[in-house]
Amino acid sequence: MTAPLWTPSPERAAATRIAAFTQHLRDKYGQRFPDYWSLWRWSIANKESFWRELWDFCGIIGEQGARALIDGHLMPGARWFPDAQLNFAENLLKRRGGDDALVFWNEHGARRRLSFDALRLDVARVQRALRDAGVQAGDRVASILPNIPEAAIAMLGTTSLGATWSSSSPDFGVQGVLDRFTQIAPKVLFAVNGYFYNGKAVDTRDKVRDIAASLPSVERVVWAEYIDDHPVQVAGAAPPRPRPGSATVDRGGAAPTEETPWHDFLANDATEPSFERFPFDHPLVIVYSSGTTGLPKCMVHGVGGTLLQHVKEHVLHSDVRDGDRVFYFSTTGWVMWNWLISGLATGAACMLYDGSPFANGGRILWDFAEAEHFTLLGTSAKYIDAIKKAGVVPRRSHQLPALRAVLSTGSPLLPESFDYVYECVKPDVHLASISGGTDIMACFAAGNPALPVYRGELQCRGLGMATDVFDDEGHSLAGEMGELVCTQTFPSMPLYFMNDPDGARYRASYFERFPGLWCHGDWCQITANDGMVIVGRSDATLNPGGVRIGTAEIYRQVETLPEVVESIVIGQQFQGDARVVLFVKLADGLRLDVALIDRIKQRIRENTTPRHVPAKVVQVPDIPRTKSNKIVELAVRDVVHGRNVKNVDALANPEALEYFRNRRELAD
């Protein structure tokens, strides 16, 4: 067993919220919990009691009702808290006063802050305006907004009414947005006139109007003005357009869509939101799969399951508490944006950022963290790897005394990136690599501020989540690679998919591999420390000679080389077998030569097995990724094999796919 990179002091561990929760259970149930794993096992064996106790400990507003779970043996089919009544927005707005609720920065120097009272007032006005626009419980409201305060305000106003929220970031193309929103038929669309990225402002007005014209369900577009307030170059802009005002969108003979500026929409005298309470499984939010292998799945998540999971992960797994200042770098199109905004339910302030995380020489997020005293900073594994390679050392350049936790998700965090955080960010910080997904609005593997951090490992399985690793025959594995499964029901399973009336697509997505159990599609291992290592998606697992290899096992070797900025690996069908092909993006000015290929192969061979060594190593100038910054192995595999990639609008840089097409290096 290796030594941990970080261990909390006994005093720090004892002061965590998870320690207080554990003590509460000891006192109430007379149960001994000598370690976290005994608590985790109790939460699985006593799942109804666990989720009830979590509800009370975290101060959820609402009525639990008499029953915690019915048909708990069914998956899918179980129902959590079938008698409960609650309102999501009421729980996020329960704190009052003049302290910060939202603090916003962008890459061009804009700064805004809203107190809890100011946020509550704006939500009241959005709620009134939506109600006056005919929005009712069960209607859908969509947005094409960047991570600005208006997005959080609109979401809270929508959910306060019992309407269902869904958001797309404004960098999606027209078809990418339509692939999502035509499936959900929103009644109102919140939109922005542009967004900032990498030194430019990108105008979105024509794109939004094209989208609205193709959505017959949309009755009103509400415009948040953003780029006009910042005198910077608009990418590809023609002469300035008039600001959006009260107007209509022509939809080719269909009823026109009314357009209203944000400030006009909020021009009413509402001062307090009202909170009708809804069932636990009332639809709250619709989120989407990446959509790179077909139309995106529209996953509908409920009020209660989302709220319970998020407060559990904030309070117990991340030690967020009243008055903290929580940041997660995310666009509104990624599930982590929802997780961030839920931090309001703990009494924490949410830190919002729009723009490139590499602005100001890669310092912008650390400038924000220092100035606003972040207590939790969340980001992607790719960002941490990128600033490591760029030589950014926040420990030297910034003062971060308030920072207690750094979270990473989106892809496996490389062991060397663990080293980087402790050497270059802060030596006494809780580093949590977490993993779950859009599918569950939560984590299967999470952090624990009272446990040690081991290099390259996710610390623990989340409370209330019966997470395990299975072999192909459905047997539990320890210390070996297998499929990530969940063997018991949990509150944040999707309620259903849109346009899936008999549930066939839903069941096929998670329950066909192991009937009655959730199969998540990750290839992973439970470690000797009872932590977890995830090595990639199981549908992207390599299979040379019939041996399954996780892609992250190769990435963690290749991307330690200073010459390699990023890589992507696939299995290519060749001469009746699957061979490993590695594509590398190199540092500026470098070309792949025989010596570097040999070094790459040697690094892989020495630290894995000969079967991991790629048959081919090929240089590419860029690697395609989704809007949430995940590389798309399956899309690259399709291009290499001459197959069409569906819905390229789901990609942030679809042009990069062309670098993989008809490569002569792969012909022999």
Band of the pLDDT at 294, cuts 50, 70, 90? low
Contact 105, 368 (CB under 8 A): yes
Q: What is the pLDDT of residues 302-333, one digit of tens each?
A: 999 999 999 999 999 999 999 999 999 999 99
Contact 192, 207 (CB under 8 A): no
- H helical segments located in 268-347: 303-312, 335-341
Token representation of residue 19 = 């320690």
Mean pLDDT, the chain, integer: 91
Q: What is the pLDDT of residues 53-81, one digit of tens each?
A: 999 999 999 999 999 999 999 999 999 99
SS3 546: helix
pLDDT score for 606: 84
- Whole-model pTM? 0.87
pLDDT score for 609: 77
Using the predicted structure, report yes or no on whether residue 189 has a pLDDT greater than 90: yes
Local structure of residue 476 (DSSP, 8 states):
B
pLDDT score for 351: 98
> Peptide bond before 149: cis, by omega within 30 degrees of 0?
no
pLDDT score for 240: 35
Mean local confidence (pLDDT), 117-127: 98
Domain boundaries, the chain: 116-283, 541-666
Picking from 45-54, 544-553, 578-587, which range would have the lowest pLDDT averaged per residue? 544-553
C-alpha R_g of the chain: 24
Q: What is the pLDDT of residues 492-521, one digit of tens each?
A: 999 999 999 999 999 999 999 999 999 998
Q: What is the pLDDT of residues 398-431, one digit of tens each?
A: 999 999 999 999 888 989 999 999 999 999 999 9
| Amino acid code (one letter) for 408 | S
Picking from 1-5, 279-283, 606-610, which range would have the lowest pLDDT averaged per residue? 606-610
Beta bridge partners of 114: 102
Residues 6+ apart with CB under 8 A from 409: 336, 378, 380, 381, 433, 434, 435, 436, 443
Band of the pLDDT at 382, cuts 50, 70, 90? confident
Percent of the chain with pLDDT over 70: 94
Which candidate, 47, 244, 286, places its Cα nearest to that of 155?
286
Mind giving me the DSSP string for 421-455?
IIIII-SS-EEEE-EEETTTTEEEEE--TTS-B-T
Q: Which residue has the higher pLDDT, 232 or 666?
A: 666
- Nearest 5°: phi and psi at 579? -110, 155
Contact 590, 565 (CB under 8 A): no
Give domain 541-666's CATH number out of 3.40.50.620, 3.30.300.30, 3.20.20.80, 3.40.50.300: 3.30.300.30
- Nearest 5°: phi and psi at 283? -60, 130
pLDDT score for 547: 65
pLDDT score for 172: 84
Among 25-34, 565-574, 625-634, top mean pLDDT goes to 25-34
Domain 116-283 adopts which CATH fold? Rossmann fold (3.40.50)
Measured between alpha carbons, how far is 414 from 560 in angstroms, rounded to an integer?
9
Scored b (16 or more CB within 10 A) or e, 142-155 reads bbbbbbbbbbbbbb
Beta strands in 198-348 (DSSP E): 200-203, 220-224, 234-235, 247-251, 254-261, 278-279, 283-288, 298-302, 325-328
Which candidate, 310, 300, 299, places its Cα nearest to that of 163?
300
Band of the pLDDT at 293, cuts 50, 70, 90? low
Which candidate, 584, 620, 587, places its Cα nearest to that of 603?
584
pLDDT score for 27: 96
Token representation of residue 362 = 């890669």
Mean local confidence (pLDDT), 552-563: 87
Length of the chain counted residue by residue:
668
Q: Which residue has the higher pLDDT, 172 or 617?
A: 617
Measured between alpha carbons, how far is 651 from 505 in angstroms, rounded to an integer?
23
Using the predicted structure, report yes or no on whether residue 241 has a pLDDT greater than 50: no
Mean local confidence (pLDDT), 548-557: 82
